[in-house]
A and B are shown apart, each in its own frame.
Chain A
Amino acid sequence: MQLTVWTYEGPPHVGAMRIATAMEGVHYVLHAPQGDTYADLLFTMIERRGKRPPVTYTTFQARDLGKDTAALFQTAVRDAVDRFAPQALLVGASCTAELIQDDPAGLASALRLPIPVIALELPSYQRKEHWGAAETFYQLVRALCSGAGGTTTAASPSPGSSPAQAGAQERDAGIDAQSSLKIDIATGPRPSPGKEKGAKRPSANILGPTALGFRHRDDVVEITRLLETLGIGVNVVAPLGATPADLARLPEADFNISLYPEIADTACRWLERTYGQKTIRTVPIGHGATRDFIAEVAALAGVDPAAALDTSRLPWWSRSVDSTYLTGKRVFIFGDATHAVAAARVARDEFGFEVVGLGCYNREFAREIRTAALLYGLEPLITDDYLEVEDAIARLQPELVLGTQMERHIAKRLRIPCAVISAPVHVQDFPARYSPQMGFEGANVLFDTWVHPLVMGLEEHLLTMFRDDFEFSDHAGASHLGHGSAPILPREPGEGDREHSANGGGGTTAVVSPSTSPLHHSAEEAERSPSPAEAGEEQKGWSPEAERELLKIPFFVRGKARRNTERYAAEQGIAAITLDTLYDAKAHYAR
């Protein structure tokens, strides 16, 4: 058993829901107990969808367990097909139904439905959301491209489907051999492939965007536009917005773009094997990666990349003098592997940050994180335990955290600026405005999003110059952390007077940062009556003068100064930290 409060990923059937919800004409019948419908509100609330996810739950209850949950499942399947008339049906079990061992594949195939039925085997006690999404997408692609239509259940490689038949499909798999079967699935008019029209325009599939994907909506728009500029047609975007008939057309493209490897990679590998379609694996997040992506695509499609090498504003914004202060800012990066790896490159090469921590929560992509971490000389952090992430952030004391919703909260607690780069995210990261992460516009978005939480260079300079002014005093809090970040602590009676004398300033606000308050406290104690015993352990032998000097250092670098000084003192075997120790340490760590 694993003790958990926060989970970075949901169970695998939520991944399957993300595929079903992304698509049109697919319905998912999930054998699940009453209550599992909670997952609907991820789509209707966080992503703000105006339609119910195309999922029917059997919602069995305790009283059904003694009876026939299998019959309940079959009724739900029949009703769902009658009511929603999908072009293809997904069936599967959630974690509880997995335990009661009804067989969705067999039960559904016994109904001899007139549409393709794809049975999903999602091991809930081993795997998670991204895996579930990838597996579901792969099974759909495999079943619908191979023309496994009719009443056949395509539950490979799991037992259930006939191995002989699956083998035959693999052998026959070829665009021409399968085209007759595809008509069974296509209900709409088949778009005519470009190949038949004289001038051959290269085309690609964009694979991976789903429902509940972080900025998937706008990334697709941005990448589609990019391909358009290169003169490359988009054959199918899937699963987002695709129908089962569209999936059947996947082999018509010249190559595939694995936009989100967490979801698309399994399907892309199968398409590579089966149809010889090459896969573009560069993820176009950041200015440089977008250029690499264009080069890779252009080379594969045999087109001139020049047209698309329009540029983002990021390079100039980043070179402009106001960005100088970004140099060497220490950044901690955590998220899904794809976004984390991409962010690390952007952080170092395009912002001039120092990457001090890099990690991901999805173990399936641990290799990618390990490879990337080598580039930065880091030990990768691969964990789905947020407490480990919190420990790492607290230990490293970065100046910026790039992470998920969870890191946002950790950073808030530690009073470190933070920007969100990866799912899981909350409702505010499904914005109304256009805000891709990918392509050149995505690079612009990254620049604004990451820099915004930091103090702007000029502002930082002013803060330092006027730090004794009441408006910029330590107690005024950090404007860049937002109004919600600083807990308003009730002021102790008489505290204001002490602060007044300690700082020689007005100190009219009551905002005290948690990270600096012990320091303030001890400094005030020192001011009032320099009693080391009263000030406690936290001082680690700081003299009152050194403490006061530390207070003069702007709050946003004070934590680092304190830590460096203490480390220096420990290394040098100095017990009492004096003014000299403080400045010796400063000189020691000077860059």
Chain B
Amino acid sequence: MSALLPLTMPDCAPVRGPVLRERGQREVFCGLTGIIWLHRKVQDAFFLVVGSRTCAHLLQSAAGVMVFAEPRFATAIIEERDLAGMVDCNAELDRVVDRLLARRPDIKLLFLVGSCPSEVIKLDLSRAAQRLSAKHAGATRVLNYSGSGIETTFTEGEDACLAALVPELAATAPGAAPELMIVGALPDVVEDQFLRLFAQLGIETVRSFPARRAGAMPPVGPNTRFLLAQPFLGETARALEDRGAVRLDALFPFGAEGTSNWLHAAAVAFGVDAMHFRAVIAPGRERAKRAIAHARDRLEGKRIFFLPDSQLELPLARFLAQELGMVPLEVGTPYLHRAHMAQELALLPAGTVISEGQDVDRQLDRVRAARPDLTVCGLGLANPLEAEGLTTKWAIELVFSPIHGFDQAGDLADLFARPLRRRDVLKV
């Protein structure tokens, strides 16, 4: 078997060129959107947004057809009379929560999710959560986090949610054997694949955070080693580190290389024999490479431009450049966590512009000037850019689709190849 590509990275990434930082209009979702996938993951949790009609409208627009399937999220819409006085507002919230929990006694974990309006009027949701937790003790735990647009961008909603859960996690026994924690909500199918791989590697205790049920959240302590499965979990990582857990630095598990490197970081930390490691991951790694080979023909040499959306942009650009031969022109990210991204940044081709934040009109000027072969952007921009003759890939799909790990590498590559293929097949 051919030698694996570099599995160990230089400790310190080479210093890249300056990051383009922009302020201006941002065409991004707020953190409330995270609810859409988080509520599917944690099956007995309910997400109650305390916000305005706009918040409810956003969730409805983002959740689309899911809104009708008895979803486990809702909005307590602040009305004129709630704005009159704070005391009234808290009483109202208690009333809404009581009514909700009476209707849905199966709910074990309730998140009060802060929004822009609730943050601006300084409604103290953390105190409300404590009060309601005490009131519903034994039946439902009530936590809070903010998914407001003024504080969070899209996937940062998941970060805020998980970070709020960390203090609630049980402590592991002192001196217990090391345990591995996979951090970040993954589709169940992907999570199961990773758990199988870690089991084959011989890592005994592997837990996912968040767990699928509120009562099954993993414990944490100094013996916890954690791998971030998602690049947008800065606050969660910090909270876990505050409780003594140790982050394993790795690439994010996209494509054959990213996944190998990610698994390898755990293998090293848990003292897995190198030969054994290679033997275990070889079949998946080969499958991944085979699966992306046909997309490579279409994508190699194509120039790609990422607008900021989810913080997945850098790892995805690395995957597309490293494994599919694409040329990233500009990789925009809403927020750049330098430490977590160090290895990813090091692997991006020289000359790639990294931008943090957004001034959407200026950025679109750059897109139009560069005329990339593929532009990754939100749905508010995709059709308008297509109408200008630019091929686009809408970014949200990357958050909702299973894209991590070996066996999704082909699907991931195809997400980028499909718009280009479609552009070629259409004769209208």
Contacts and interface: CB of A to CB of B under 8 A. Distances in A.
Interface string B65-95: 1011001011111111011000001001101
Contact of B30 (A1, A33, A56, A128): A33
A57 interface: yes
B29 A35 contact: yes
Contacts of B62: 38
A3 interface: yes
A479 to B, nearest CB: 22
A268 interface: no
Contacts of A10: 53-54, 57
Contacts of B64: 426
Interface in B28-84: 28-33, 50, 52-54, 56-58, 60-62, 64-65, 67-68, 71, 73-80, 82-83
A65 interface: yes
B60 A33 contact: no
Interface centre among B33, B54, B78 (most CB of A within 10 A): B54
B52 A34 contact: no
B361 A83 contact: yes
Contacts of A33: 30, 116, 148-150
Contact of B25 (A57, A96, A100): A57
A311 interface: no
A38 B52 CA distance: 14
A125 interface: yes
B119 A62 contact: yes
Interface centre among B33, B64, B116, B120 (most CB of A within 10 A): B116
A14 interface: yes
Contacts of A57: 25-26
Nearest to B334: A34
A11 B60 contact: no
A50 B58 contact: no
Given A4-B74, A7-B60, A33-B148, A49 B383 contact: yes
Contacts of A83: 361
B60 A1 contact: no
Contacts of B50: 1
Interface stretch (A39-47, A297-305, A313-321, A437-445): A39-47
Interface centre among B80, B83, B150 (most CB of A within 10 A): B150
Contacts of B80: 123, 125-126
B380 interface: yes
A124 B78 CA distance: 10
Interface string A478-497: 00000000000000000000
Q: How large is the interface on B (under 10, 10 to 19, 20 to 34, 35 or more residues)?
A: 35 or more
B244 interface: no
B385 to A, nearest CB: 9
B222 interface: no
B117 A96 contact: yes
Given A44-B379, A44-B380, A59 B26 contact: yes
B54 A124 contact: yes
Nearest to A48: B383
Interface centre among A36, A38, A50 (most CB of B within 10 A): A38
A34 B150 contact: yes
Contacts, number: 179
B52 A124 contact: yes
Contacts of A61: 149-151
B28 A50 contact: no
Given A33-B148, A33-B150, A51-B387, A79 B52 contact: no
B53 A124 contact: yes
Contacts of A2: 76-77, 79
A3 B116 contact: no
A4 B75 contact: yes
Contacts of A449: none
Contacts of B68: 6, 406, 409, 413
A224 interface: no
Contacts of B275: none
Interface string A241-283: 0000000000000000000000000000000000000000000
Given A11-B53, A99-B120, A35 B76 contact: no
Nearest to A83: B361
A413 B148 CA distance: 33
A36 to B, nearest CB: 7
B99 interface: yes
Nearest to B153: A34
A548 B166 CA distance: 57
A513 interface: no
Nearest to B381: A52
Contacts of A14: 54, 57
A6 B73 CA distance: 10
Given A3-B99, A125-B79, 12 more contacts: A9-B53, A34-B149, A35-B31, A35-B116, A41-B61, A44-B379, A49-B383, A52-B381, A52-B384, A62-B148, A65-B120, A125-B82
Interface of B: 24-33, 50, 52-54, 56-58, 60-62, 64-65, 67-68, 71, 73-80, 82-83, 89, 92-93, 95-96, 99-100, 116-117, 119-121, 148-151, 153, 361, 378-384, 386-387
Which are the 4 A-B pairs with shortest beta-carbon distances?
A35-B30, A35-B149, A50-B387, A40-B380
19 contacts: A1-B50, A1-B93, A5-B74, A6-B60, A7-B53, A36-B149, A37-B25, A38-B58, A40-B379, A40-B380, A40-B381, A44-B379, A45-B379, A57-B25, A61-B150, A99-B83, A125-B79, A125-B83, A126-B80
